[in-house]
Amino acid sequence: MLLHQFFGTGEYDNRVAFVFKESDDLTVMFVRDQAILKEVWVSRYSEQAAEDMAENWVLGGTLGESDDERT
């Protein structure tokens, strides 16, 4: 189930992030230019931590290793 959507603006308007919840599992999906770059399972963290990851991405943050890497 989709819990939250985050959208970038300005120079990051091509970025979107989604927070999903299935049972007790949380997943953050990072999207740029309509392509999924990475999905991260974050169940060991709180919903707030998942939201923070998503928000950081749309505000211009990086995904770590490489923003073009899919996992």
Q: Across residues 37-53, what is the average pLDDT?
A: 89
pTM for the whole thing?
0.85
Average pLDDT, the chain: 89
- The encoded tokens of residue 23 equal 């049972």
For the stretch 13-41, pLDDT in tens is: 999 999 999 888 899 999 999 999 999 99
Bridge partners of 29, per DSSP, are: 18, 39
Residues found in the chain: 71
